[in-house]
Each structure stands twice: as C-alpha cells, then as structure tokens.
Structure 1
Amino acid sequence: MLEQFRSKITEKKKIDGALSILQWDLETCTPKKGQEFLSEIVGYLTMKGYEISTSKEFVELLDKLKSNLNSLSPIDKKEVEIISEEIEKMKHIPSNEYQYFSELVVKAQGIWEQAKLSNNYKIYEDKLQEIFDYTLKFAKYNRKNEANLYDVVLNEYEKGMTTEKLDIFFESLKEEIVPLLQKIVAKGNPKRKLNFYNSIENQKKFNRKIGEYLGFDFDRGVVRESEHPFTLNVDKNDVRLTTKYVENTPFSAIFSTIHETGHGIYEQQIGDELKGTILACGGSMGIHESQSRFYENIIGRSKAFWKGIYSEAQNYNPILKEITIDDFYKEINIVEPSLIRTEADELTYSLHIMVRYEIEKELFSGNIKAKDLPKIWNEKMIKYLGIAPKYDSQGVLQDVHWAGGLIGYFPSYALGSAYSVQIYNAMKKDMDIDKVLENGEMDKIKNWLGDKIHKYGRLKETEEIIREITGEGLNPKYYIDYLKKKYSAIYNLDI
C-alpha cells in the first residue's frame, strides 16, 4: 500500500518539478509571443497533477492509509495528512474551473508585466478582478467554520492565521512604528553615497561572491534575472534564485540577492530523509520569509557582517574605500519612506505589507473592486508612509503576486520579519552572533538554522517550530522592540 502511495507521489512530484521549470522559464527567458502556449502547457500539466490527486484509486489508497495512521512513520503520516487536506480542498473545486484558473494566472502574469512596463493599469484591471473573483469563489467552496472568508485564503499560506490575529499585529505597528517613522523623517538623513554607477557584469560577480560567502551552494543552485526577484526549488539539489540589477543602485541587487539567498539556503538544507516526499520544501510562507528577512536584515544590515567582508566589497566597489564602515552601516539602514516594497528599508517594510493586507481584506469583503485600486493604494500610502506614487508602475502594479493568484500571501512577509527577530533572540543565547559575523564564520549561523528549522521542511508546522526555538508563539513585541532600539540608536532618538 505504501509502495503504491509512494509511486503516485513520485509521479506528482515529477509533474510539479516540470511546472516549476516552466514557471522559471516564464519569469526569466520565455519570449513574449511564446507565453500563451507555455501557459496552455502549464494548464495541461496542472490538470494532470489534479487528476492524480483526485483519482478514485488515489483517494481510496489515502483512506486506507488514514485508517492505519498510527502504524505509519512520522514522515508518511504527515504526508498523508497534508495530501488529505489538499484533496479535500480540490474536491470542492470543479475541475474545469481549476484548469481555467491555472491558465488565467499564467496569462495574467504576462499581462501584468506589460502593464507595469507601459504604466497601463487598465490592460490588467479586468484580469486582476477575475483572479480575485475566482479566489473568492474557491474560498466559498472550502469554507468550514471560518467567520471571515479571507481567513480561508490566509490559512493557505500560514496555517492557523486569522484576520483577528493579523489585525492585532498590524494595529501594534500603527501605534508604535508609524510615530517612530514620523520622528525619523522630521530629523532627516545624510546625503547618500552608495548610489553610484557599477556595471551589471561587476555586480553579478560580487553578488555571486556574497551568495557563496553566506553559504549558498552553486553546485545545487543558480541565480538569474527577473523583473521581480524570487526563489524556486525543483528539489533541494536544484534551487533557483533571481535578482534584478540596476546600474546606478548596486546595493538594491545586493540586498535582493541576500534576501533570496536566505530562501535558497533554507531549501538546500532540507533533510535528506524528506527527499522525494511532498515535505521536501520549506514550511509555511511565514517561516520561509523569516529566513530571507533574517539574512537580509538581521545579518545583511548589521555592522558586524560587513566588517567581515568589507575589504572584499571594496574590491568590487572601489568607492567604498572612501566610506568608513560606520557611515556605510548608517546608510544601508537609512529610513526613508519609499514607493517600492522590495526596496523599502527595514523599518517601513511591514507598513508596505499593511497597505496590501488592508486592500485584500476590502476586496474580499466586496467594499472595493479592482478598478478602485490605484486610488485606494495611493490613499493608504499617504496615510502610513506619507508618500504616494505618481505612476501605477510604482504603486499598485509593482508586485506580481496578485497576478499569480497569491491572495493572502502578503501578510506572511510581515510575519516573517517578526519571526526572524524571535529566532535571532534565541540564537543569541547559543552564540555571540556579532563575533561570528566579524570572523566570517557563516557556517555556524547556517548550521544552527539548518538544525532548528531547515531540516524539517514541512514535517513540522510553523507554530511548533517557533515554540520549540523561542518558548512561545508569534509575539510582535520582540519585533517592535528590536526596531525601536536599533533605529533610535542610529538616529539618536529618545523613545
């Protein structure tokens, strides 16, 4: 019985791997006129995976295994539980709607890119509304005891997360971080020195050096370019990252690369015993994002990290020879409300997520439509960050997530930032992190994360992992205290 189950899982994994590679192609190198046919292939393969998972043979096999759960290994048991949950969701969605939606989001991503590049929201608006309509419809199909339909989609990315919990989380940001931001803006910033010309070829060399230094294995991974940076895994031995280079702002790509490297290291360190199972990937979006935010901010924006690699950075960026490490540290931590989420500073980042969270809630409640988004977006940006975009390409069109059907995904970014600080506090009890960073002993950090988080893949839930590491569940207090302490010191503020 287990052999039959494993055979079906292997077949499904191969289809998922093919879909990942196609998605990679679509995002990095597919010619525009080839996107439509590739979208059809994605829809076809998605249906093949759907048919395997919902076939009578497979469902009956699962039922037999569920009746003998106690006799299964922890890995087999977890797989059966997860697949049973996924099948239960798929069973309520008509197959023709499932296939249509799969093709819709692939096509929408191509239209989104055109809309962003041409600053023309109108050509994307109808597709976006259709994606939200289908997501809402699917949520209704799978509604159980949730009081709020938005909770159904939140649960897709962060199991057990609810609107009620997130409202409390974001309310604390409004109360503590928005006023802090206003104080910093009133104080002003020094003139920037890091926005200098650096050829893309040279940036690529240094970014690869950074990836290697952090511990990303390039024998099992690659880095390419895309409009929107992302990480994708075919399996732990084929992890693919992308970044975006801009000649006159080289540190944009550097921090993007550090962020995606955090995701990539997570995928590469998943336990070998999980290989070939559906557990052989990162856990929830929140815990995954905690790793990228940990590497990008806790490590990448610390003075200790750059002390360990500053001479190397100067070789690739000669202008750094004229900038002291103290001034460099202050500049990479400049707080300045910005329009683009992926380029936001550490303090304002979660405020960008709050804008998206509130918009998603309102769309799900029916209070607004896709046609209203540019106006709503700008109003919320002014309310929380004090600025608004002149162009939609800098506003509502900047992220690909909605085009890809990832509704309810954005809150995971803010949760990941909060989790990263709780993890950081726990790690400090086991090592002197600043000393480790100054000595360039990146393996100590990588191995600690691998042992506490990465090796488990999806075997353990996020809540369980966070409690094992920190002794408690999500607690935004640590995140807020960390931000207040760090930035009050940088800006000499009394808080």
Structure 2
Amino acid sequence: MEAIKRLKALLKEIYIINSSVSLMHWDQSTYIPSKGAETRAEALGYLSTLAFKKLTSPEMGELLETLSSQNLLNSLSNIDTALLRVVKRDYEKAKAIPPELYEKFVIASSRGQNAWEKAKREDDFGYFRPYLEEIIKLLREMVEFYGYEKDPYDALLDNFEPGMTTERLQHIIAELKPEIINFVRTLSKLPAIDTSFLNGRFARHLQSRLSKMALKVIGYDFDAGRLDETVHPFTITIGPGDVRVTTGYKPSDFTASLYGTIHEGGHALYEQGISPELKWTPLADGASMGIHESQSRLMENIIGKSYEFLSFFYPKIQKAFPKVLENVSLDMFYKAVNKVEPSLIRIEADEVTYNLHIMLRFELEKALINKELEVKDLPEAWNEKMKEFLGIVPPNDTMGVLQDVHWGSGMIGYFPSYMLGNLYAAQFFNTAVSEIPDLHQQIAAGEISNLLQWLREKIHKHGRVYEPDELCKRVTGEELSPRYFIDYIKSKFGKIYGL
C-alpha cells in the first residue's frame, strides 16, 4: 500500500534525526568539553525542532487522514494498525504545541541540564533556579496547548505513561503509602543490619570491570552497546543495534555503581529485545516509561538483590574486592544490600522506602504545574516532604532537591514511572515464576537466559504495539495492582528481618 510505505519512509527520516539527537545527548552527558555546552544546546534545539516539524507536517497529516479511512484501515496488518495508532497519538500531541514553543523548551532543557550539573556539583540551587523557572514556565504553557480533562498534570503524565491519570495515580498511592509506611515502622523497631563493611576504597577500574561482568550475566549484548561513566546513570538508544548504558562510580561504595549498572542494563535489555520488524518506527520503543522501569527495577532488585542471584554472583564480587569482603559471608552481604532504612538519595534507596521518594516528587511536580508551588520555594518544600515521608532532612541541596537530573532536563511527569515500574515488575515476576519451571534455581545457577527469553517474548519484542494497560493484561491476565508489590516486599523483607 503506497500510503503506508510513504508513512514509514517519513518516520524513518524522523527516526534518523532523533538518532542524531540521542547521540548528541549521550555525548553531552559523557565526554563533551564544558565550553561546547552552549553550542550543543542550539544544535539540539535545531535538530529536535526539525524532527518535530516533520512529525507535524502537512504531509504527515494527509497520510494519517488517508490511512484512517475505513477502507484502508480494514486492510492494515496488526502491526501497521498499532503504528497508525501510535503515530496519530504522537502527531496530535506534537501538533498541539507551536514549533517555536517546542524549540524554546528543547533549548531550555538542554541548558537546564548543564546548569543542574554545575549547581549540584557546587551545591547552589540559586544558580539552577532561573533555568528551572524557565522550564516550568514553558511546561505550564504547553499543558494548556495539550489540554486535559481534570488536572493539568495529566497532560505531562500521559507523555510518559499513556492512559495514566493523576486521579488513578492517587488511588494507587492511597493503597500503597500506608502499607509501606507501616511496614517501615515495623522494621525500624528490629535490630539494625550491619552494612559497615560496604564502606571502603574501591578502585574505579575494578568497579567498572564488575559492572561489565554483571551486564554480561543478565544478557546485555556489548556488540550492540557500551558502558560509560556519567554524573547521573542513564540508558539511551542511539538506533537499531546501538543501546548504550552509563553508570557512576563512588570510590567509597561499589554497590551504587553495581546496582545502578544492573538497573540501566534492565532498560537496555528491553531496547535490545524489540523486534527488528519495528525498526525505524515509533513502535521500536517501550510501551511506556512505567513498563520500561519495570524491566530495570526487576533486574536491579527482584533479580540482582535476590539471594538466588547473589549465591552465584557474590563470589565474583568477593574476588573483585578480596581485602574488604573476604570475611563477609553471603548471608551478611545479602542482608546488607537489602537493608531497609530511610535515606536521602533516591537512586540508593532500598526497595521498601523507594516509592516514598517517588510519591514526594509526584506531589511537588503536581504542585509546580498547578501553580500551587513556585520554584523559589522548592528547596524548603522538598525538605518538608522529606521530613513527612521519610523522617529525615537533607543537610544540603545537593543531597536534596538537586539530586536528580530529571527536572533540569524538562522531564516533569516522569517520576511516577519509577513507582509504577516497581508495581509492574512484581506483577510480571509473579507470573514468570508460575510459567517458568524452577526459575529460582536457574537464577541461583547464574542462568538468566530463560527469564530473559520469557521477557522478550512477553514484553520486549512488542515495543509500543500495546498500550501499557493492555500489555499488563496480556502478560499477567489482570490490570496493574499494587498488591503484588506489597506481598513481595513483605515476604522478602519479612524473612530478612526475621518477622
């Protein structure tokens, strides 16, 4: 069919432009010299706007209208029908935003990321404040162009989790929050777990070697990617056959880089497992960021911090750092990396308290977009929420409001994906255990391939063919439910703490 061929050709052009943008973003966060930041921001703004204009072009509109006619619609394959659905959604959302506003936002986000890095490094929220104010101002404008039914935040949340609403998220939190807080209170009354041996001096090159080893064990294809160092770990797809992982190395704590790498490796496995049939199209991406985060959180926590996985992998960790860990047993290490304790840094938080960090950010983001909170008041509001949710207050902004890259990069609405990812992960893994015989024993033997194949068949290969709700039902037979996560943490940590 000529129209679908023309659509795919135009989508390939857009994909190639965005591939260049992704490569520039990766370089911006890894190797770019500091004096190149301003030029890079303008280049990113130009290329991103070029892709944006192609997506919203009259040609795109005409093709979508032609293909949406009932006669042609009935003749499309299932994949092409999904492609049409996704492109129409992206087109309509992009079409709602004036190109000049979009370009301003891309440039502001690029500058904001660079400003955030400097502000975090120097513990200077005042330096970052005007950049974030500009981003929030632009997002508030964009929300009005997007439109929404009930809450302005819905328009941004939908960018990362299609179909999710603020109202539904609040219902999920209402079920989850009291369960977590009560469980944390119960655990806090029990004897503390010793983690002192995790502090030491861990050479960067040894951490890097261990991280690469972990990626190989979980199935990451180094012929289709690489591992590099950055301030804030991320995974980025440059294009088919090129999915890159980054991590950060702390001289005093190797577990941050190890589990940060496994987390990003989970993202990369998803991207590497998308069907080649979807190449050069918007379908070659995750169903949502919540589904994406389910894959990273599953690998990082449900697998990487499980007793079974560490039965296999801990001897390799001991071999990497023998002076520190030679007298530390598997049981001691397992308990240490799963210690539950309210902490300042989200990416280092344990599985039980992690979602509280996300709830905090969700409330602040929602308040910012709804004009109930201004950027100048954000540090104080952050500290108040930390006291409310976790009972601790950051000693400085670097360990508080400046710890995450997301707001400086313009990614307002992303944070709830992490919490949803935890919930999806527990629900998916519960199904995997019921469908893969002896899965726990396989993991204990370092055999992750059957689980990976299951994930590829059930989730990865489909990309964006299915909406997240539909995908969850296809995989597990039911809608997303917080109950699986609640049961998971109570079972795992109840045993660790001897409840």
> In which range does the TM-score fall when normalised by the shorter chain?
over 0.9
Deviates further, 127-136 or 13-22: 127-136
Question: 2:388 aligned with 1:388, yes or no?
Answer: no
In the alignment, which of 30, 48, 51 is matched to residue 49 of structure 1?
A: 51
Residue 222 of structure 1 aligns with an amino acid whose one-letter code is R
Residue aligning to 2:136: 132
In the alignment, which of 151, 155, 162 is matched to residue 165 of structure 2?
A: 162
Q: Is the 8 A contact 1:235 1:281 kept in 2?
A: no
State the shift of 1:103 in Å.
0.6
Residue 5 of structure 1 aligns with an amino acid whose one-letter code is L
Residue aligning to 1:287: 291
Provide the C-alpha distance between the structure 1 equivalents of 2:5 and 2:266, rounded to a whole number of angstroms: 35
Q: Is the 8 A contact 1:221 1:240 kept in 2?
A: yes
In the alignment, which of 154, 168, 174 is matched to residue 171 of structure 1?
A: 174
Q: Is the 8 A contact 1:230 1:260 kept in 2?
A: yes
**Residue deviations 1:374-401, cap 9 Å, x none?**
1111111111111010100101000010
Question: 2:377 aligned with 1:372, yes or no?
Answer: yes
Provide the C-alpha distance between the structure 2 equivalents of 1:276 and 1:50, rounded to a whole number of angstroms: 16
SS in 2 for 1:233: strand
Provide the C-alpha distance between the structure 1 equivalents of 2:397 and 2:353, rounded to a whole number of angstroms: 20
Residue aligning to 2:461: 455
Provide the C-alpha distance between the structure 1 equivalents of 2:127 and 2:375, rounded to a whole number of angstroms: 12
In the alignment, which of 126, 149, 153 is matched to residue 150 of structure 1?
A: 153
In the alignment, which of 404, 408, 421 is matched to residue 426 of structure 2?
A: 421
- Listed as ranges, the matches of 1:213-232 within 5 Å are 213-232=217-236
Residue 279 of structure 2 aligns with an amino acid whose one-letter code is K
- Listed as ranges, the matches of 1:286-305 within 5 Å are 286-305=290-309
Deviates further, 52-61 or 42-51: 52-61
Residue aligning to 1:6: 8
Residue 378 of structure 1 aligns with an amino acid whose one-letter code is N
**Residue deviations 1:30-64, cap 9 Å, x none?**
11110000110001101111221122222112211
**Residue deviations 1:106-154, cap 9 Å, x none?**
011000111100100011112212212211211111114x111111111
**Residue deviations 1:306-325, cap 9 Å, x none?**
11223222221213331111
Q: Is the 8 A contact 2:233 2:247 kept in 1?
A: yes
Question: 2:278 aligned with 1:264, yes or no?
Answer: no
Which consecutive residues of structure 1, in runs of 5 or more, have no partner in the other structure? none
State the shift of 1:430 in Å.
1.6
Residue 455 of structure 2 aligns with an amino acid whose one-letter code is L
Moved over 6 A (4+): none
In the alignment, which of 344, 354, 361 is matched to residue 349 of structure 1?
A: 354
Residues 188 and 377 from structure 1, CA distance in 2 versus in 1: closer, same or farther, beyond 3 angstroms? Answer: farther
State the shift of 1:262 in Å.
0.4
Deviates further, 222-231 or 54-63: 54-63
RMSD over equivalenced CA pairs, Å:
1.2
In the alignment, which of 466, 474, 482 is matched to residue 476 of structure 1?
A: 482
State the shift of 1:358 in Å.
0.7
Residue 321 of structure 1 aligns with an amino acid whose one-letter code is E
Q: Is the 8 A contact 2:193 2:335 kept in 1?
A: no
Q: Normalized against structure 1, the TM-score is what? A: 0.97
Q: Is the 8 A contact 2:224 2:243 kept in 1?
A: yes
**Residue deviations 1:314-359, cap 9 Å, x none?**
2212133311111111111001111000011111100000110111
Provide the C-alpha distance between the structure 2 equivalents of 1:125 and 1:237, rounded to a whole number of angstroms: 38
Provide the C-alpha distance between the structure 1 equivalents of 2:203 and 2:439, rounded to a whole number of angstroms: 33
State the shift of 1:99 in Å.
0.8
Provide the C-alpha distance between the structure 2 equivalents of 1:117 and 1:309, rounded to a whole number of angstroms: 34
Q: Is the 8 A contact 1:195 1:249 kept in 2?
A: yes
Q: Is the 8 A contact 2:294 2:420 kept in 1?
A: yes
In the alignment, which of 75, 98, 104 is matched to residue 100 of structure 1?
A: 104
In the alignment, which of 422, 438, 442 is matched to residue 444 of structure 2?
A: 438
SS in 1 for 2:226: strand
Q: Is the 8 A contact 2:86 2:283 kept in 1?
A: no
In the alignment, which of 221, 234, 238 is matched to residue 242 of structure 2?
A: 238
Question: 2:80 aligned with 1:76, yes or no?
Answer: yes
Residue 48 of structure 1 aligns with an amino acid whose one-letter code is L
Provide the C-alpha distance between the structure 2 equivalents of 1:133 and 1:369, rounded to a whole number of angstroms: 10
Q: Normalized against structure 2, the TM-score is what? A: 0.96
Provide the C-alpha distance between the structure 1 equivalents of 2:167 and 2:385, rounded to a whole number of angstroms: 20
SS in 2 for 1:153: helix
State the shift of 1:191 in Å.
2.9
Question: 2:331 aligned with 1:329, yes or no?
Answer: no
Provide the C-alpha distance between the structure 2 equivalents of 1:264 and 1:312, rounded to a whole number of angstroms: 23
- Listed as ranges, the matches of 1:176-187 within 5 Å are 176-187=179-190
Deviates further, 451-460 or 357-366: 357-366
Provide the C-alpha distance between the structure 2 equivalents of 1:31 and 1:174, rounded to a whole number of angstroms: 43
Residue aligning to 2:114: 110
Q: Is the 8 A contact 1:269 1:454 kept in 2?
A: yes
Provide the C-alpha distance between the structure 1 equivalents of 2:321 and 2:435, rounded to a whole number of angstroms: 34
Residue 126 of structure 1 aligns with an amino acid whose one-letter code is P
Residue aligning to 2:29: 27
Residue 190 of structure 1 aligns with an amino acid whose one-letter code is I
**Residue deviations 1:182-233, cap 9 Å, x none?**
2222324233212222100111111111101110000001010111100000
Question: 2:214 aligned with 1:210, yes or no?
Answer: yes
Question: 2:307 aligned with 1:275, yes or no?
Answer: no
Structure 1 vs Structure 2: percent identity of aligned residues?
Answer: 42
Residue 183 of structure 1 aligns with an amino acid whose one-letter code is T
Residue 451 of structure 1 aligns with an amino acid whose one-letter code is E
Provide the C-alpha distance between the structure 2 equivalents of 1:185 and 1:287, rounded to a whole number of angstroms: 31
Which consecutive residues of structure 2, in runs of 5 or more, have no partner in the other structure? none
SS in 2 for 1:429: helix
Provide the C-alpha distance between the structure 1 equivalents of 2:267 and 2:92, rounded to a whole number of angstroms: 29
Q: Is the 8 A contact 1:236 1:269 kept in 2?
A: no
Provide the C-alpha distance between the structure 2 equivalents of 1:190 and 1:411, rounded to a whole number of angstroms: 29
Q: Is the 8 A contact 2:153 2:369 kept in 1?
A: yes
